[in-house]
Amino acid sequence: MLFRSTMSTSPDIRVCPSGPEWLAQACGLFRDLSAQAIQSHGRCVIALSGGSTPKALYEALTSTDWKFQCQWKQMVFLFGDERAVSPDHPDSNYGLAQAALFRPLGIESSQVHRMTGESADLEQAAEEYERTIRNITNCPPPAIPVLDLVLLGLGEDGHIASLFPGTPALAERNQLVAVGRSPKGISARLTLSLGVINRATVVLFLVTGAGKAHTVRAVLQPQTPAERALPAARVRPDCTRLIWLLDDAAAAALTR
Ligand code: 6PG
């Protein structure tokens, strides 16, 4: 099912039925996109998204249907954002990935680089994570490192990672990692900045549910300047692919 986008960058928009079919498409994209990076340069540096959507993806990827299809040992895991909590906190994005993905697959701790959300000094934690990313990618400043694959969810307010509308983190242009502020729930966050997200080789949005339909339409088929300025609408990879994988509920407000 094809939909046109009125964004300046024409993303690859894919829609499929909710549930098992959407999960199969998500796992297939994860398998294929990571394999392409590994084939190209021997590894895939992935930034995982947060929130609740990834849980179903992780559970599918660790199932016997998929876990043998991915080259896990050639993957390096980063995080797109983290809440200001300890890794064992129920809201920790790392904690979810550790329990639902890394531990079941036996991913080596050396392959995983979490953001230290529990730090008392988040600005310092952001600087430390920037150093981590630069070391992993061997990319000294001022260049912006190229991550192979960035997974993103979509907030109902149009946020991505922890880049919320109207916040300084969204406007950050120099740092790779910033301190974000959420208007709901756990306020303080660590987040990749838009600059490093837009330098990724592939950005893959994974969005499901009727609750996101309005926001999906606003981002992909904006009708006002405010909608064009939404954080998710500002994800336009400079170099290559932008893919949206939507279930039919999240795509319901799109027009052909
Ligand atoms: C976070 C996420 C955030 C998330 C969206 C969608 O830490 O909360 O990074 O950007 O991806 O809010 O969240 P759901 O998947 O829970 O709908």
pLDDT digits (tens, 9 = 90+) for 221-243: 999 999 999 999 999 876 679 99
- What separation in Å is there between the alpha carbon of 210 and the centre of ligand 1? 15
**Tens digit of each residue's pLDDT (9 = 90 or more) over 200-220:** 999 999 999 999 999 999 999
Pocket lining for ligand 1, CB < 6 angstroms: 49-53, 80-81, 93, 153-155, 159-162
Give exposure, 21-51, as e/b (b: 16+ Cβ within 10 Å).
ebbebbbebbeebbeebbeeeebbbbbbbbb
For the CA of 49, the closest atom of ligand 1 is: 9
Q: Which residues contact 230 (CB under 8 A, 6 or more apart)?
A: 157, 158, 165, 215, 218, 219, 222
Q: What is the pLDDT of residue 186?
A: 83
What pLDDT score was predicted for residue 5?
53
When pLDDT is averaged across residues 102-125 and rounded to a whole number, the result is 98
Residue 236 is predicted with a pLDDT of 87
Structure-block tokens of residue 59: 């559970």
Percent of the chain with pLDDT over 90: 92
Residue 9 has pLDDT above 90, yes or no: no
Query: What does 11-74 look like in DSSP terms, one character per residue?
Result: -EEEEE-TTHHHHHHHHHHHHHHHHHHHHHHS-EEEEEP-SSHHHHHHHHHTSTTTTTTS-GGG
Q: In this structure, which residue's CA is closest to atom 13 in ligand 1?
A: 51
Ligand 1 atom closest to 163 (CA): 10
**Residue 6 CA, ligand 1 centroid: distance in Å:** 24
Any idea of the CA torsion for 66, 71, 72, 75, to the nearest 10 degrees? Answer: -130
Residue nearest to atom 12 of ligand 1 (CA): 155
Distance 82 CA to ligand 1 centre (A): 10
> 108 pLDDT exceeds 90?
yes
Instruction: Name the closest-CA residue to atom 7, ligand 1.
Output: 50
Residue 106, C-beta contacts closer than 8 angstroms, at least 6 positions apart: none
The stretch 3-16 carries a mean pLDDT of: 73
Q: pLDDT tens, 80-89?
A: 999 999 999 9
Helices then strands, each counted (H, E), the chain: 9, 9
Residues 6+ apart with CB under 8 A from 225: none
- Closest ligand 1 atom number to CA of residue 208: 17
* Ligand 1 atom closest to 93 (CA): 7
| pLDDT (0 to 100) of residue 185 | 85
| Nearest atom, ligand 1, residue 52 CA | 16
Mean pLDDT (the chain) is 95
Cα 183-242-51 angle, rounded to 5 deg: 35
Residue 237 is predicted with a pLDDT of 72
Predicted local distance difference test score (pLDDT) of residue 4: 56
- Whole-number Å distance, alpha carbon 126 to ligand 1 midpoint, is 19
Q: What is the pLDDT of residues 129-143, one digit of tens each?
A: 999 999 999 999 999
From ligand 1's centre to the CA of 153, what distance in Å?
5
Residue with CA nearest ligand 1 atom 10: 161
Residue that is written with structure tokens 């680089």 in the block: 113
pLDDT in tens, 140-173: 999 999 999 999 999 999 999 999 999 999 999 8
pLDDT over threshold 80, residue 72 = yes
Q: What atom of ligand 1 comes closest to residue 212's alpha carbon?
A: 17
Residue 248: its pLDDT value, please?
98
Report pLDDT for 256: 86
Quick one: tokens of 72? Answer: 């896990």
Omega within 30 of 0 (cis) for the link into 54: no
Percent of the chain with pLDDT over 70: 96
The confidence band for 127, taking pLDDT boundaries of 50, 70 and 90, is very high
Whether 8 shows a pLDDT value over 70: the answer reads no
At 7, the pLDDT band (50, 70, 90 cuts) reads very low
Query: What count of residues does the chain have?
Result: 256
